[in-house]
Amino acid sequence: MASQPPNLLDAGSVSVPYESLKRVTRERKYMIEEAEGIGKGVAAAARDASLAHDASAAHARLDQLLSQLQGLKRKLEGTSLSEREDLARCRARLQHLRDLGAPDKDAQIEWNRRRLDSLLVDHMLRGGYNGAAAALASSSGIQPLVELHIFEGAQSVVDALRAHNCGPALAWCEEQRPRLRKAKSKLEFKLRVQEFVELVRAGQQLEAIAYARRHLAPWASQYLPELQRAAALLAFQAGTQCAPYKQLFDDARWGELVELFRQELYRLNTLPPTSLLSIHLQAGLSALKTPLSLEPGCCREDPLHLPAFRTLAEGLPFAKHVHSKLICAISHTLMNEHNPPAALPNGYVYSQKALHDMAAANGGRVTCPRTGFSCDVSELRRVYIS
């Protein structure tokens, strides 16, 4: 297999298990320090003269230390499992990168299928189709190359938010609090505000005030204007038409929370914010996009004649072509000095060779494939490109 620089889009997949491995290793370091602290506690208890004469107190102290050690052991076992899984993913993905490049001729179809399956699994996971993604990953044997483990727990959070329940999302924020705080995430604050809004919507003003004092007040130093606007909601009801507060009652905020959660999930796990399939498609479409691609009469061979591809291509620059090339819509061959373009009376242009071949097969008549216009071959006019 030819040696080529690693594909940057594929190389990014290694960072996911690598960053996870770094994080788990740091957690193990903290656990070892905690174990050292417990060991010092045991040594201190052994030297404590008061415990030497009080068996019940000594037993209670030792039971406490033993309970701490057992809890720490369970955490370390979980950490060891995570390390092994991350190492296996790193190894599999590094091997995948070694295999990148021009595949052998006989293996080209399988190589492309494996790569495409990885892109499809990533795209389906982001869309919430976890079952289909897992089935495709299993049938293709690419489980170590995709992020099934990240999206498994995340989907339950997304489903809960769509059902107007912040509980699982807040539990996730509790688990990830140090990392979210370091990233200066607003997710937890937004979730707390939404729970406050739901209490006000339900007419539970007293409960809403108590909730704000407990869960919103600690955020005052960071998000005071938003906190003040939320607090003013107590003076309004759910049907208010006052613009700033009507927006707070809008159910569309739940969709915004889903998107914000996904953004934080991708950011914490070093995943790109957009699916790799979309990135690949947009890269290809940007090389094909021309002003003619957006015209109503766009050639059907141009992928951009499809509405879905046009949506993907929105905002992308037009392809840069230093030297334009004309391709015949009939024969799909290049039109140049050896095969010059010719115009029909209706203004459509095709290659001379394709039109003459058509005329030879149809008694000297040519028919425009786009409009159905028919004329004699003698009516064709040569087109000169300046």
Beta bridge partners of 376: 365
Tell me which residue range forms the domain holding 206: 154-269
Q: How far, in Å, CA of 49 to CA of 179, rounded? A: 43
* CATH number reported for the structural domain that contains residue 343 in this entry: 3.30.40.10
Q: Are residues 243 and 258 in the same domain?
A: yes
Q: Is residue 148 part of a domain?
A: no
Question: 22-50, pLDDT tens digit by residue?
Answer: 888 888 888 888 888 888 877 777 777 66
Q: Are residues 233 and 309 in the same domain?
A: no
Q: Is residue 142 part of a domain?
A: no
Q: Is residue 222 part of a domain?
A: yes
Please state the pTM of the whole predicted model: 0.69
Residue written as tokens 């030497």? 52
Instruction: Place 8 in a pLDDT band, splitting at 50, 70 and 90.
Output: low
Q: Is residue 320 part of a domain?
A: no
φ and ψ of 183, to 5 deg: -85, 0
State how many domains the chain has: 4
Q: Are residues 248 and 309 in the same domain?
A: no
Question: 88-133, pLDDT tens digit by residue?
Answer: 888 888 887 777 666 666 666 777 788 889 899 999 999 999 999 9
Q: Are residues 225 and 197 in the same domain?
A: yes
Q: How far, in Å, CA of 107 to CA of 206, rounded? A: 68
Q: Is residue 203 part of a domain?
A: yes
Q: Is residue 336 part of a domain?
A: yes
* 100, 117, 139 - which closes a domain: 100
* 269, 288, 305 - which closes a domain: 269
- Structure tokens that stand for 175 in this block: 């688990």
Instruction: Place 82 in a pLDDT band, splitting at 50, 70 and 90.
Output: confident
Q: Is residue 233 part of a domain?
A: yes
Q: How far, in Å, CA of 208 to CA of 198, rounded? A: 9
Which residues, including other chains, have CB under 8 Å from residue 101's CB and lie 6 or more apart?
A: 1, 2, 3, 4
Q: Are residues 236 and 258 in the same domain?
A: yes
